[in-house]
Amino acid sequence: MDETLAAFFGNQAGIQRLERISGGDINNAYSLTLENGLRLFLKINAIENLSFFSTEVEGLSAIASTGAIRTPRILGYGTDNDRPKCSFLLMEFVMSKGRRADYWETFGRQLAAMHQAPAGQFVPGGSFGFSHDNYIGATKQDNSAHASWVAFFRDCRLAPQFSRASHHFPAKDKKRANWLLDHLDRFLVEPERPSLLHGDLWSGNFVTGRDGAAWLIDPAAYVGHAEADLAMTELFGRLPYPFYGAYQEAAPLQPGYRDRRDLYNLYHLLNHLNLFGEDYLPAVQRILRKYSPA
Ligand code: ADP
């Protein structure tokens, strides 16, 4: 980490203050102030988890490359043997003087622009997926390229989470899950265009930048159906109405989104079940019962 700091800040790179920040689920996060007064954001994890950070950087770089919405500037990531062994990610500390008056409209418009940006370069060999596998929380996400969104969502999203969660399910729910996987094309549709997604768009994963607008952080990026990002913004309580109004004005939703929304969120609820335990089982079971015959 010292080399990364020295490469950017020369002999002003000494660390003056390090303060722990709460909020993340996976990593230890810090505000780091340099001798020159500059504040940086630092994430630390075990040395063997460097791929959390390399994949986060890939996702942030993909989002930044669309030019549609801001992300923090990355300074570097790597492993550190000098201090307690760790892997680290260093980036710009996002700070604001407050939200602009049209914060939610701007966010909706910018997210729509990101979803409408060309996405072909992010999925060599297919239309849906990503150049590398990455993580949703601490769970590995398979991003193998697929030609079909519905097949991608079945093979790379729902099926691996179902198989990891199978010990939580009574036989009846296992049957429902298998039925749903076999009949997913009855419910999901192919998108009008493949979109670069943030992939983990809950309210903890955007912060307000110095322009007063929302900046995206901590993505689990891949190329998929834009609806999956919107659905996640509704999973733990919706964002304010102007966000959705502006989004839809810029990128109208395909008919039937509301009927598909719970299926996209089933992926995140299964992931929460797998990561955090059975508090999430009833919500998963409710969705299984909604879509599969009794
Ligand atoms: P984790 O990978 O552990 O989930 P996050 O990336 O979500 O960690 O970061 C934890 C918290 O730190 C966020 O909820 C946010 O409030 C804050 N944060 C994240 N990135 C930055 C940043 N670049 N600048 C300032 N604060 C940030």
Instruction: State the pairing for strand pair 86-92/74-80.
Output: antiparallel
Please identify every stretch of the chain with a pLDDT value under 50, giving residue numbers as ranges.
none
Residue 200 near residue 136 (C-beta atoms within 8 A): yes
User: Is 129 touching ligand 1 by the criterion CB < 6 Å?
Assistant: no
User: How far is ligand 1, taken at its centre, from the CA of residue 179, in Å?
Assistant: 38
Spatial neighbors of 243 by CB under 8 A, at least 6 apart, are 104, 105, 107, 108, 233
The reported pLDDT for the residue numbered 83 is 65
User: How far is ligand 1, taken at its centre, from the CA of residue 182, in Å?
Assistant: 38
Domains located in the chain, CATH noted: 2-92 (3.30.200.20), 103-291 (3.90.1200.10)
Q: Whose CA is nearest to atom 19 of ligand 1?
A: 217
For residues 157 and 152, give the distance between their C-alpha atoms in angstroms, rounded to a whole number.
7
Which of ligand 1's atoms lies nearest the C-alpha of 137? Answer: 4
The reported pLDDT for the residue numbered 16 is 84
Residue 103 near residue 208 (C-beta atoms within 8 A): yes
User: Is 207 touching ligand 1 by the criterion CB < 6 Å?
Assistant: yes
Estimate to the nearest angstrom the gap between the alpha carbon of 256 and the chain centroid: 24
Ligand 1 mutation target, pool 217, 268, 275, 276, most atoms within 8 A of CB: 217
Q: Whose CA is nearest to atom 23 of ligand 1?
A: 93
Which of ligand 1's atoms lies nearest the C-alpha of 72? Answer: 23
The reported pLDDT for the residue numbered 23 is 72
For residues 237 and 265, give the distance between their C-alpha atoms in angstroms, rounded to a whole number.
12
Residue 227 near residue 188 (C-beta atoms within 8 A): no
> Does 200 participate in catalysis according to the annotation?
yes
For residues 56 and 262, give the distance between their C-alpha atoms in angstroms, rounded to a whole number.
26
Q: Which residues pair with 30 in a beta bridge?
A: 20, 42
24: its two tokens: 């993340």
The reported pLDDT for the residue numbered 67 is 98
Distances, alpha carbon 112 to alpha carbons 49, 109, 158, 194, in Å: 32, 5, 25, 13
For residues 67 and 71, give the distance between their C-alpha atoms in angstroms, rounded to a whole number.
10
For residues 34 and 39, give the distance between their C-alpha atoms in angstroms, rounded to a whole number.
6
Catalytic residue among 102, 142, 182, 200: 200
The reported pLDDT for the residue numbered 36 is 86
Q: With pLDDT > 70 as the criterion, what percentage of the chain qualifies?
A: 99
User: How far is ligand 1, taken at its centre, from the CA of residue 23, in Å?
Assistant: 7
For residues 267 and 162, give the distance between their C-alpha atoms in angstroms, rounded to a whole number.
9
Residue 232 near residue 200 (C-beta atoms within 8 A): yes
User: How far is ligand 1, taken at its centre, from the CA of residue 199, in Å?
Assistant: 16
Task: Determine the length of the chain.
Answer: 294
State pTM to two decimals: 0.95
